[in-house]
């Protein structure tokens, strides 16, 4: 107990290696490695500015969802329903746009659908005290069914030019609008998690709910808010798909749950709650998008892409749990 | 040192009883603690010590009796009522957040903010934490260190510092050194004595008789929910206390 004031720094190679926070750096190391790999193997097209821009643009919906997922994992929960929420919100938005002709009413409607999904999840998790895994597993199927029911499996076109500009094809100061959305979502997410009391409460709830409670944090209110945000970020992702693809279909977001979780976990957010990184999640989303892009350029088919993505999630989860400090 | 009823004592309990259905957990408990006084609450397992702590911290409501905090009659319907009246609890399991820095633990639920956006004022929280741990002589690497990097004794020190920081009158401690080694226990006891110097009233639940003699001014004994007696520590003996706790003449 006496030599605690300033332990001498171990400056040997082994000491320095030990100090590097490997778990938090996995995403950046992976990013550089994957980038180098595709730059070398896909020389013709990968490094073109069109392709690099495309990687970021393609990542937009995933990044937006990842912000919500960081908060959900931050409280030590999980939201499996985000993928189907994308489809339901995208279709609702498209239908409202078709009937009202108003781009903003349509967007608000989509966000309200997302918030309602999140509030429903939150109700069962807080008031009914059910595990988030089971609740959102059930709602995932339920919402996917609703999305199919809503338009009877039909696609809905999105033709409104303002809507398409704002949520998909537009650009501002020479930068595609979807990149602006990504930056905005990341900044808001970072501010909320790192600079607001709410963010501190999220991490406290995820790390030690009892400590949070006896410290006067309203644990259930925090959980409810986080699930509503998660529903809304999924809805915004759906709206961005509407804008970019010019239409909505019940298959939207189908594969996104896996991608988002992989991005967030590889980005240093712990599955066990209490440790979360927005910057890491954004880097993770870009990494996933880059892998996707590179695999397509490499000529892999959809099945092979799924296999590679699954393998990446396994690696990410192993690293996330292996690095956990023993108490 | 005997309880002279002054209106401003941090804690006064009068005739507290608690029943769970037909079971009487606490019967007619009276206690008054002065500022700067450390009172130990001792008793065998199941004697009602934890129940009493939960009553004072607002987690349980007494069936009968009155709680006075800082001279005011208090109806504590939940822990936030007790907190609002300046009662802080150091829990047995510490109730800390491992993955956050020390300063966030100290300010958990009461974080400082600044500016029109009300962003977290991490610099000020870290500075005030450093001042407090220095004052209480709790040796930690830094107020910005992550809590999981601290030893058991350091964590206990942080839990006590947090309670001290927010308690305006009374600190409750439930077995604060139960999980600690000898050296760490000694440091935590020093911290507890620092609280006394600062004028806080401390009610400490302990199983450790030596500890009671080291830190407490008075000791009150519970046996199966009944208050057997209260002694001034300097006027009692180990044997007398054991006899009171067990109910057997020694």
Question: Rounded mean pLDDT of B16-28?
Answer: 88
Q: In this structure, are residues A267 and A36 in contact, taking their beta carbons and an 8 Å threshold?
A: no
pLDDT given for residue B78 in this prediction: 81
Taking CA–CA distances from B80, the nearest residue in chain A reads A216
CB crowding B83-121: b at 16 or more within 10 Å, else e: bebbbbbbbbebbbbbbbbbbbbbbbbebeeeeeeeebb
CB crowding B237-249: b at 16 or more within 10 Å, else e: eeeebeebbeeee
Q: In this structure, are residues B221 and B42 in contact, taking their beta carbons and an 8 Å threshold?
A: yes
What distance lies between CA A263 and its chain's CA centroid?
7
Cβ contact, residue pair A211, B97, below 8 Å? yes
Interface check B22 vs A, CB under 8 A:
no
pLDDT given for residue A327 in this prediction: 36
Interface check B99 vs A, CB under 8 A:
yes
pLDDT given for residue A321 in this prediction: 59
Contacts 24+ apart (CB under 8 A), B80-84: B80/A216, B82/B56, B82/B57, B82/B58, B83/A216, B83/B58, B83/B166
Given a cut of 60, whether residue A146 has pLDDT beyond it is yes
Interface check B113 vs A, CB under 8 A:
yes
Q: Which of A88-102, B180-194, B205-219 has the lowest mean pLDDT?
A: B180-194
Question: Rounded mean pLDDT of A266-270?
Answer: 87
The span from the CA of B192 to the CA of B176, in Å, is: 10
Cβ contact, residue pair B141, A215, below 8 Å? no
Cβ contact, residue pair B100, A207, below 8 Å? yes
Cβ contact, residue pair B139, A215, below 8 Å? no
Interface check B120 vs A, CB under 8 A:
yes
The span from the CA of B177 to the CA of B62, in Å, is: 27
Interface check B95 vs A, CB under 8 A:
yes
Question: Rounded mean pLDDT of A292-303?
Answer: 87
Is the torsion defined by CA of A64, A68, A71, A76 positive or negative?
Answer: negative
Cβ contact, residue pair B96, A211, below 8 Å? yes
Question: Rounded mean pLDDT of A29-54?
Answer: 87
β-pair partners for B26: B18
Is the torsion defined by CA of A117, A122, A127, A132 positive or negative?
Answer: positive
Interface check A6 vs B, CB under 8 A:
yes
Interface check B157 vs A, CB under 8 A:
no
Residue ranges per domain, chain B?
11-93+152-246
Taking CA–CA distances from B159, the nearest residue in chain A reads A211
* Residue of A197, A203, A207 with shortest CB distance to B113: A197
pLDDT given for residue A113 in this prediction: 97
Residues of A in contact with B79 (CB under 8 A): 214, 216
Question: Rounded mean pLDDT of B104-119?
Answer: 90
pLDDT digits (tens, 9 = 90+) for A180-223: 999 999 999 999 999 999 999 999 999 999 888 888 889 999 99
Cβ contact, residue pair B99, A274, below 8 Å? yes
Is the torsion defined by CA of A53, A21, B105, A321 positive or negative?
Answer: positive
Interface check B141 vs A, CB under 8 A:
yes
What is the pLDDT confidence band of residue A317, given thresholds at 50, 70 and 90?
Answer: low
What is the pLDDT confidence band of residue A292, given thresholds at 50, 70 and 90?
Answer: confident
Of B150, B165, B175, B143, the C-alpha closest to B42 is B175
pLDDT digits (tens, 9 = 90+) for B87-99: 888 877 778 999 9
CATH tag, A55-316: 1.10.3470
Assigned token pair, A258: 């896996």
Cβ contact, residue pair B108, A200, below 8 Å? yes
Residue ranges per domain, chain A?
55-316
Neighbours of B227 (CB within 10 A): 22
Q: In this structure, are residues B79 and B57 in contact, taking their beta carbons and an 8 Å threshold?
A: yes
The interface predicted TM-score of the complex, written ipTM, equals 0.80
Helix (H) / strand (E) containing A50: helix A49-74
Assigned token pair, B69: 């905090």
CATH tag, B11-93+152-246: 3.40.50.300
Given a cut of 60, whether residue A4 has pLDDT beyond it is no
Contacts 24+ apart (CB under 8 A), B231-234: B232/B1, B232/B2, B233/B40
Question: Rounded mean pLDDT of B101-114?
Answer: 91
pLDDT given for residue B1 in this prediction: 46
pLDDT given for residue B82 in this prediction: 85
The per-residue DSSP string of A237-286 comes to HHHHHHHHHTEE-TTTTTTHHHHHHHHHHHTT--TTSS---HHHHHHHHH
Assigned token pair, A71: 């908060």
Given a cut of 60, whether residue A1 has pLDDT beyond it is no
Give the length of chain A: 327
Taking CA–CA distances from A5, the nearest residue in chain B reads B141
Given a cut of 60, whether residue B127 has pLDDT beyond it is yes
Q: In this structure, are residues A327 and B151 in contact, taking their beta carbons and an 8 Å threshold?
A: no
Interface check A327 vs B, CB under 8 A:
yes
pLDDT given for residue B86 in this prediction: 86
Interface check B53 vs A, CB under 8 A:
no
Cα A79 to Cα A124, A136, B80, distances in angstroms: 12, 6, 31
Q: Which residues, in sequence order, are CB contacts of A268 under 8 Å at separation 6+?
A: A23, A24, A26, A27, A275, A276, A277, A280, A320
Of B73, B74, B68, B75, the C-alpha closest to B9 is B68
Q: Provide, for chain A, the percentages of residues in helix, strand and coil under a 3-state DSSP scheme, each rounded to the nearest 5.
A: 75, 0, 25
Measured at the CA of B156, the angle between CA A214 and CA A206, to 5 degrees, comes to 40
For residue B234, give the DSSP letter: G
pLDDT given for residue A10 in this prediction: 66
Given a cut of 50, whether residue A303 has pLDDT beyond it is yes
Given a cut of 70, whether residue B123 has pLDDT beyond it is yes
């Amino acid at each position: 107990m006496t030599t605690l004031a300033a332990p001498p720094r171990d400056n040997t190679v082994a000491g320095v290696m030990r100090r590097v926070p490997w778990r938090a750096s996995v995403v950046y190391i992976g990013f550089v490695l994957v980038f180098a790999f595709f730059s070398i193997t896909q020389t013709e097209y990968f490094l073109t500015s069109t392709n690099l821009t495309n990687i970021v643009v393609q990542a937009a919906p995933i990044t937006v969802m990842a912000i919500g997922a960081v908060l959900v994992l931050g409280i030590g929960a999980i939201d499996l329903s985000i993928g189907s929420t994308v489809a339901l919100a995208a279709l609702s938005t498209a239908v409202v746009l078709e009937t009202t002709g108003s781009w903003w009413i349509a967007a608000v409607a989509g966000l309200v659908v997302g918030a309602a999904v999140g509030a429903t999840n939150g109700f069962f998790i807080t008031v009914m005290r059910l595990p988030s895994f089971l609740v959102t597993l059930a709602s995932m199927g339920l919402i996917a069914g609703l999305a199919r029911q809503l338009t009877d499996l039909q696609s809905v076109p999105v033709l409104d030019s303002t809507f398409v500009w704002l949520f998909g094809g537009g650009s501002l100061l020479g930068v595609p609008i979807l990149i602006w959305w990504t930056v905005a979502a990341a900044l808001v997410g970072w501010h909320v998690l790192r600079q607001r009391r709410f963010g501190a409460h999220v991490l406290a709830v995820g790390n030690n709910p009892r400590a949070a409670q006896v410290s006067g944090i309203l644990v259930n209110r925090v959980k409810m808010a986080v699930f509503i945000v998660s529903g809304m970020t999924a809805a915004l992702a759906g709206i961005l798909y509407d804008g970019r693809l010019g239409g909505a279909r019940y298959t939207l977001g189908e594969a996104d749950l896996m991608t988002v979780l992989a991005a967030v976990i590889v980005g240093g957010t712990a599955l066990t709650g209490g440790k979360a990184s927005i910057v890491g999640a954004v880097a993770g989303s870009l990494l996933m998008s880059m892998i996707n892009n590179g695999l397509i350029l490499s000529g892999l088919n959809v099945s092979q892409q799924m296999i590679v993505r699954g393998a990446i999630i396994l690696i990410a989860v192993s690293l996330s749990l292996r690095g956990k400090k023993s108490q | 040192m005997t309880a002279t009823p002054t209106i401003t004592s941090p804690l006064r309990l009068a005739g507290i009883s608690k029943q769970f259905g037909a079971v009487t957990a606490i019967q007619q408990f009276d206690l008054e603690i002065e500022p700067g006084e450390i009172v130990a609450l001792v008793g065998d397992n199941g004697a009602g010590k934890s129940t009493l702590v939960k009553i004072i911290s607002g987690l349980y409501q007494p069936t009968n009796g009155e709680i006075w905090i800082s001279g005011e009659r208090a109806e504590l319907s939940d822990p936030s009522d007790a907190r609002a009246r300046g009662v802080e609890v150091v829990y047995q399991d510490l109730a800390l957040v491992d993955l956050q820095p020390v300063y966030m633990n100290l300010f958990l639920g009461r974080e400082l903010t600044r500016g029109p956006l009300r962003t977290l004022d991490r610099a000020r929280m870290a500075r005030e934490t450093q001042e407090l741990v220095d004052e209480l002589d709790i040796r930690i690497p830094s107020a910005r260190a992550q809590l999981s990097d601290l030893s058991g004794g350091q964590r206990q020190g942080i839990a006590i510092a947090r309670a001290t920081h927010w308690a305006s009158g009374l600190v409750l401690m439930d077995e604060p050194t139960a999980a600690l080694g000898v050296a760490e226990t000694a440091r935590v006891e020093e911290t507890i004595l620092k609280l006394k110097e600062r004028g806080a009233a401390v009610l400490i639940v302990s199983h450790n008789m030596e500890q009671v003699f080291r830190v407490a001014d008075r000791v009150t004994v519970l046996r199966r929910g009944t208050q057997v007696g209260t002694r001034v520590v300097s006027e009692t003996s180990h044997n007398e206390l054991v006899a009171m706790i067990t109910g057997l003449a020694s």
